[in-house]
Structure 1
């Protein structure tokens, strides 16, 4: 799990860094929206795709029969009883964070629908406008536009034009995906900055449309007067979202040249860097067979004596394990692997996994070692 989260965080950082450096200050807002959404999908999906690169197969005869070496030959997996299991503590903290954020979002949705239910409603073009004293600043959610009571009619028309853009372009779906994105990696500050930029780009889109409808001068005045935070902004598009100077400068900025979009080709070396970091070396034989089998059993000698610390290994894959105090062993192997069992003073035994019938991904084989005469 931790490797997956690390990959998601790294990809999030790569997409966020490129956006902030090359795209954020430009006026092609629809392109930026697609970029940000694509970045979220790739960051969440790519870590689940296994990455491999082939290495030459190590000859099984190259492995010494009596000893292991850590490195090119084999690494041994051993189970150790730890007084403090930091992995479990980390999982507990991570899950606690998920639960807290999910409960927070449930409370936000409850408050949103309470505002919608208690306000005075007006329907226009399939959109519901609601005025309520429960909010200080307007925002949109799904097909609802929530406004504070007592707002001036001229300002109301400007705000409705702004919030209608959010609804028509389904920005609420982006916000839901962004919230899921942040909850999954709640410990990563870059994820929250990423969502902030996604919301900011929504405001650029709505500002541009509302400014054309109401007139730029009128719109700027309304935007300045109502510069307050909404009270439930995690799942909504608040009219008075922050980054004040950025929004005002974008309203005055001339259209950016499309050549700036070419900076997205920088994603190619960044993603290649990701592949280089996380690709796993496998032999050419492994590339064609990734289906795993859990091989387990007990190792004894001719007299029925349990053999402790017998080596169980797959030489060409460079990994293995040893039998425990009761002579039991367990190892995850491929369906076409050849497994060796050896210990000093006994003949080495060979197990061809493909010679046995596998049930539910498990294979039970007890091994009898013959002593050397």
Structure 2
């Protein structure tokens, strides 16, 4: 559940960035096809962005460890403290899933409503176009490759050609696919206002595209086409919300865009700014959020009476909290009471949090403390198993190269083991194939597991 909510959080932040860029830079431009491409890219990128191995795309050290390395036994006073947080994740996840399920059920109901309208309509050919005629009043509408005309729309001979061209544009340009994608995206991102704003913007833009096509067909002058919009009636036939149909909520925007001067070629540069800017902000957000999470986990998951070491010397929780995330090089946690007593001489501290900044990674105090830890945990470092793989070259790397899929596998399949913090990249000398060796510790026994760069488990 926690992984689902983290995925949703990242996707929704990206949606918000895309929405902000669209409303600030692109909304009033008349490049409707480019706006359509931008909005579809926004939804697609937000969906795949949380699945990308983002920390590996950032410079080394740009993201802190997503999982605090734990040395020593997992049992201890701090163990039960995680239960309330897990319950919070579960409650939030249940609320989110309930809302998404409700909107998906509504989408199913809209599709069934459309099937009902289609069933009661009869086929006909109007001005050379195959349509389905629905008894009742209201304007024309379309869905998929089908155009629906009400009896009242069919009787309006003066407006019929332009209205038909408008619906033909929806069908010809495949706008229904956009609508379905936007409905799904809104259902899955329903708590995020940006998702609803992007959907509204995309639906309006599809109407602008259809209006533009109808005017280019030359069936009516621009002024007469606007009067046609004003004469149309909403309501009447209960057309499904998924279908393209007349709506007073979009009428004002459509008329404004019909009178909007054509955007100049110079304004195309806004597209070169909007999407790359959002992508860069998303990358920066990932790194900053991962670092902040690591600091918060180290500083708040433990009580104030835990021992804190900053750059190899005794410190406190306040000093750790005040660190800038970008300054942190590593965060280690020791929870084994025996180790705390043996190494740090404390019988009362529930654990030890060790924070090292990038600037002081080689400071004498840090090296001295590392030497003490290695004396107690001699298994740290490159294991002997590495030397038995002659076809591979290897190099130590950081825990943050592991994608969430690999970390989730470790959590679910090795619940009694801890991540030591030792990760090694193996690269085949001939094929260039890359895999990662991750050292886990169960009790005091170290062992290694292997993962692909995509997070697939390869074996022990």
Report if TM-score (shorter chain) is over 0.5: yes
Task: Judge which range, 174-183 or 97-106, deviates more.
Answer: 97-106
For 1:98-117, list aligned pairs within 5 A: 98-117=100-119
Q: Is the 8 A contact 1:14 1:270 kept in 2?
A: yes
Match of residue 177, structure 1, among 161, 176, 181: 181
Change over 3 Å in CA distance of 1:255–1:234 after alignment to 2? same
Change over 3 Å in CA distance of 1:285–1:92 after alignment to 2? closer
Shift of 1:51: 1.4
Q: Is the 8 A contact 1:131 1:148 kept in 2?
A: yes
* Distance (Å, rounded) in 1 between the aligned partners of 2:109 and 2:402: 48
Shift of 1:268: 2.7
Match of residue 446, structure 2, among 348, 351, 356: 351
Gaps of 5+ in 1: 57-62, 69-75, 299-311, 318-333, 342-348, 364-373
Match of residue 10, structure 1, among 2, 13, 19: 13
Pairing 1:206–2:210 present? yes
* Distance (Å, rounded) in 2 between the aligned partners of 1:160 and 1:201: 18
* Distance (Å, rounded) in 2 between the aligned partners of 1:64 and 1:203: 56
Pairing 1:162–2:170 present? no
* Distance (Å, rounded) in 1 between the aligned partners of 2:85 and 2:442: 32
Gaps of 5+ in 2: 63-68, 292-329, 331-395, 424-435, 451-456
* Distance (Å, rounded) in 1 between the aligned partners of 2:107 and 2:201: 20
State the match for 2:149 in structure 1: 147
Task: Judge which range, 255-264 or 224-233, deviates more.
Answer: 224-233
State the match for 1:328 in structure 2: none
Change over 3 Å in CA distance of 1:91–1:135 after alignment to 2? farther
Cα-to-partner distance string for 1:317-370 (whole Å, 9 max, x where unaligned): 8xxxxxxxxxxxxxxxx74416374xxxxxxx4524269xxxx8787xxxxxxx
State the match for 1:23 in structure 2: 26
State the match for 1:284 in structure 2: 397
Task: Judge which range, 9-18 or 245-254, deviates more.
Answer: 245-254
Cα-to-partner distance string for 1:257-302 (whole Å, 9 max, x where unaligned): 122121222433332222122134787254676656544669xxxx
Q: Is the 8 A contact 2:53 2:401 kept in 1?
A: no
Q: Is the 8 A contact 1:313 1:340 kept in 2?
A: no
Q: Is the 8 A contact 2:36 2:202 kept in 1?
A: yes
Across the aligned residues of Structure 1 and Structure 2, the Cα RMSD in angstroms comes to 3.5
Shift of 1:135: 5.8
More helix by share: 2
* Distance (Å, rounded) in 1 between the aligned partners of 2:437 and 2:18: 39
Shift of 1:178: 0.7
Q: TM-score, normalised by structure 1?
A: 0.72
Change over 3 Å in CA distance of 1:81–1:270 after alignment to 2? closer
Change over 3 Å in CA distance of 1:126–1:19 after alignment to 2? farther
State the match for 1:254 in structure 2: 261
Pairing 1:36–2:39 present? yes
Cα-to-partner distance string for 1:226-270 (whole Å, 9 max, x where unaligned): 152684453221134633222112222231112212122243333
Change over 3 Å in CA distance of 1:87–1:202 after alignment to 2? same
Cα-to-partner distance string for 1:117-152 (whole Å, 9 max, x where unaligned): 212321469953222235633211112112221231
Q: Is the 8 A contact 2:138 2:152 kept in 1?
A: no
Shift of 1:167: 0.2
State the match for 2:393 in structure 1: none
* Distance (Å, rounded) in 2 between the aligned partners of 1:289 and 1:201: 40
State the match for 2:224 in structure 1: 218
Q: Is the 8 A contact 2:53 2:402 kept in 1?
A: no
* Distance (Å, rounded) in 2 between the aligned partners of 1:64 and 1:34: 46
* Distance (Å, rounded) in 2 between the aligned partners of 1:338 and 1:92: 32
State the match for 1:188 in structure 2: 192
Q: Is the 8 A contact 1:138 1:240 kept in 2?
A: no
Change over 3 Å in CA distance of 1:89–1:31 after alignment to 2? same
Q: Specify the SS of the correspondent of 2:263.
A: coil
* Distance (Å, rounded) in 1 between the aligned partners of 2:48 and 2:6: 14
For 1:309-324, list aligned pairs within 5 A: 314-316=420-422
Shift of 1:4: 0.9
Match of residue 197, structure 1, among 198, 201, 208: 201
